[in-house]
Amino acid sequence: MPLAITVIDVDAGADNIYIFGSLTASGNYSTGGDTLDFTTIAPQVAASQAPVQVWVGGSTGDTFAWIAGTVLNNQKIKVNTASNTELASGAYPSRITGDASIKFEAVFNKLI
């Protein structure tokens, strides 16, 4: 199941659009990364191309790495545990589903 995106703020700079928000994990994690689908917030993104940069962080000690896709709906977020091994495939652990502080910042080129 894709990560659910909640937009907190949008900042349209001169050249880029910055989206700030939170992510909610539910369902199952897939080896290699869970899908991050920006088409779910397309009206707020005002871009038709994939982001140029994404940062994700939380408070559980796990690390979140963005794996760039080619379009809005095929970005991925890979989760590594505190012991620096990829999160096992299967149901997300409660430490992640209960983490309300998983935040992201995505940068999109403006007017593409």
All domains of the chain in start order, with CATH:
4-109 (2.60.40)
Is the pTM above the cut of 0.85?
yes
Share of the chain above pLDDT 90, in %: 71
Query: What pLDDT sits at residue 18?
Result: 93
pLDDT band at 110; cut points 50, 70, 90 = confident
**Cα(first)–Cα(last) distance of the chain, in Å?**
28
Amino acid sitting at position 78? K
Amino acid sitting at position 103? K
Q: What are phi and psi of 13, to 5 degrees?
A: -80, -175
